[in-house]
Amino acid sequence: MFKKTPMAAGVAAFATLLFAGGSAVADTGNGYAVDYTAMTPHELAEYLIFEANDGGGFNLSQEMQEGGTARDRMQQDELQIACSLIDNADPDPETAAAIREAAGESIVYPEGGIQLGDWERGRELAWSGFGYRVGHNYDDHDARPVGGTCYNCHQMATDRTGGNVGPNLTGYGKTRGTSEAVLKYAYDMIYNPHVYFPCTHMPRFGASGFLDDESIADIMAYMFDPESPVNE
Amino acid sequence: MLKKALLALPVAMALGATAHAEKPPEEVLQGLIDAIDSTYLTQSEMNIMMMPDNPALWVGMDGEDLFHTPRGPNNVSMEACDFGKGPGVLEGAYVEMPRYFEDTGKVMDLETRIVHCMTEVQGFDPDDPAVTRRHGSGSDHMKIQTYIAMQSNGMEWNNPLEHPLEQAMRDAGEVLFARRAGMSDFNCYACHGETGKRVRASQLPAVDVPEEWTKAISWPAHRVGHDNVRSSQHRVRGCYYQMRQPGMLAGSDASIALISYWTDLARGQPAVLPDMKR
């Protein structure tokens, strides 16, 4: 479950069908190559991303850090499709259950169990917003390690200002301890938070390949190490 | 024509003759602040204080010159261009964009309409820097956009949805808003779904609070952090960058669909033009 679907190919075929051939603005009032009013909003959105304006409405040819092009990155996997809900709605219970199950299956644990790494490196990674940004100011992954952007959404240690899109994580290890269950929960949240919060807005840092094992271990050390400023 | 020698006067007063404004932008903003409790609207006292001297007002004055001067190979001024309310009519034009234009058969936002005017009416080559340079206070685009947008200050957003193409673009924009993709699975709701949220220290506007959203979409605005006047298209690019998704091409139909939807979300709320942002 939750594979990428070749959506663009489907839309391209659809667009060809719609192309009436040479219908001038004057006749139809439609200045586009195809009739946008004949598509569903969803079909039109896909068409605007991948086909309109001679090859798509985004810069789709740029190469991505993970390989492939921006065209590939804009393809949605099944989770992204299921969670693209108008008005930020919650998924229905059946979908939510399927999402949680698939998320659980996606989680890979490190050999030898969950480890805490280097909290000092984790501190920088939790703060850093570097990584996977593309377009006009492309992140070169050879230059710096990919950060976790945790502070964008979370307050962690209080020496730096964090966001509040997610809950406050100050004192995380100190208040919860470091039992196996607590560490597993935190690891799961970082790896694929949809296992507990279907359609959460927190990224799937492990499942997407955004963070590697070492970086996850270091960020977890930042959350749990008694020496870490998070637990002051 | 007004020149920068007037710097001693508050800029807003100097511009009073041309800008549509029963209320200057800072008073329009104050009205929103008085209407609701919002950390987003009140986040920068400094900016609110600076608004009477907003550098964007100067950029708009330069735009006034450019707009009314005959230019391009055809040596005509932009007064010959229709921004939706008839040739040369600017009052209230911007708050009713994006809209469908019969002469192109397309839904266009302000920026693409300016491009259309430059290339089709004034005769500029599409590769001319006047047409291609879209960003920065020094660009013709930002000057002209700011001037035109200022003629809608304090007026309510009201992009028409009568034409089936206007409705189709708005509806596709709603889908784009909700569409998750890329390395972070983000859609626009990830950061703008709830009021009172911050990314680090930045207070974020929420899509479901129209009094916040009208300020959010009030571009052109002087971005203090960039020390430049920025456009809606520039903002769209910035958010996709943070979302780890590729940049939308300026003026693409996708960008116009998105802007049609975001304007619809602010319908009925007064525009703050020009605005100042962090």
Evaluate whether A46 touches A118 at the Cβ level (below 8 Å).
no
Measured between beta carbons, the chain B residues lying within 8 angstroms of A66 are 183
User: In whole angstroms, what is the distance from residue A50 CA to residue A135 CA?
Assistant: 16
User: In whole angstroms, what is the distance from residue B215 CA to residue B273 CA?
Assistant: 9
Pick from A47, A69, A75, A134 the residue to mutate for testing the B interface (most B CBs within 10 Å): A134
CB pair distance less than 8 Å for A132 and B198: no
Residue B147 in any domain: the answer is yes
User: In whole angstroms, what is the distance from residue B115 CA to residue B109 CA?
Assistant: 10
CB-nearest to A57 from B165, B187, B254 is B254
- Give the total number of structural domains in chain B: 1
Model pLDDT for residues B146-193, shown as the tens digit of each residue: 999 999 999 999 999 999 999 999 999 999 999 999 999 999 999 999
B24 to A36, B14, B50, B91, B222: CA distances (angstroms): 39, 12, 13, 15, 15
pLDDT at A1 over 80: no
Bridge partners of B230, per DSSP, are B221
Name the residue of chain A whose CA is nearest to B176's CA.
A45
pLDDT band per the 50, 70, 90 thresholds, residue A114: very high
The token pair that represents B114 in the structure block: 């300016």
Residue B114 in any domain: the answer is yes
Size of interface A-B (CB pairs under 8 A): 177
The secondary structure of residue B38, as a DSSP letter, is -
Query: Beta strands B202-203 and B106-108: pairing type?
Result: unpaired
Evaluate whether A225 touches A116 at the Cβ level (below 8 Å).
yes
ipTM at complex level: 0.92
CB pair distance less than 8 Å for B169 and A36: yes
Measured from the Cβ of residue B205, the count of other Cβ atoms closer than 10 Å reads: 21
pLDDT at A207 over 80: yes
User: In whole angstroms, what is the distance from residue B128 CA to residue B74 CA?
Assistant: 14
pLDDT score for A8 = 44
Measured between beta carbons, the chain A residues lying within 8 angstroms of B201 are 161
CB pair distance less than 8 Å for A87 and B178: yes
Interfacial B residues in 191-230 facing A (CB < 8 Å) = 191, 193, 196-202
pLDDT score for A162 = 98
| B240 touching A (Cβ < 8 Å) | yes
Nearest to A35 by CA among A14, A9, A59: A14
Evaluate whether B69 touches B77 at the Cβ level (below 8 Å).
yes
Name the residue of chain A whose CA is nearest to B192's CA.
A165
CATH architecture of the domain covering A111-231: Orthogonal Bundle (1.10)
Evaluate whether B245 touches B75 at the Cβ level (below 8 Å).
no
| B239 touching A (Cβ < 8 Å) | no
pLDDT score for A29 = 82
For chain A, what are the domain ranges?
A: 4-85, 111-231
Nearest to A100 by CA among A189, A220, A217, A208: A189
Which residues of B carry out catalysis? 239
CB pair distance less than 8 Å for A52 and B253: yes
Pick from B174, B185, B195, B258 the residue to mutate for testing the A interface (most A CBs within 10 Å): B185
The secondary structure of residue B271, as a DSSP letter, is P
Nearest to B181 by CA among A212, A67, A72, A52: A72
CATH number at residue B207: 1.10.760.10
The token pair that represents B87 in the structure block: 């040739």
pLDDT score for B22 = 80
Measured between beta carbons, the chain B residues lying within 8 angstroms of A132 are 182-184, 244
Q: Which residues of chain B have pLDDT under 50?
A: 1-14, 16-20
Interfacial B residues in 79-118 facing A (CB < 8 Å) = 102-106
Is the sign of the CA dihedral A220, A226, A231, A232 positive or negative? negative
Measured between beta carbons, the chain A residues lying within 8 angstroms of B180 are 76, 80, 83-84
| B257 touching A (Cβ < 8 Å) | yes
pLDDT band per the 50, 70, 90 thresholds, residue A4: low
Question: Could you list the residue range(s) of the whole structural domain that residue B75 is in?
Answer: 2-15+39-277
What's chain B's length in residues? Answer: 278
Measured between beta carbons, the chain A residues lying within 8 angstroms of B174 are 41, 86
Evaluate whether A119 touches A219 at the Cβ level (below 8 Å).
no
The secondary structure of residue B77, as a DSSP letter, is -
pLDDT score for B17 = 42
**Averaged over A169-188, what is the pLDDT?**
98
Give residue for tokens 């009477």. B52
Q: What are the φ/ψ torsions at residue B242 (nearest 5 degrees)?
A: -65, -25
User: In whole angstroms, what is the distance from residue B103 CA to residue A207 CA?
Assistant: 49
SS in 3 state form for B116-179?
HHHHHHCCCCCCCHHHHCCCCCCCHHHHHHHHHHHCCCCCECCCCCCCHHHHHHHHHHHHHHHC
Cα of A185 to nearest chain B Cα, Å: 20
Interfacial B residues in 158-177 facing A (CB < 8 Å) = 164-165, 167-169, 171-176
Cα of B226 to nearest chain A Cα, Å: 15
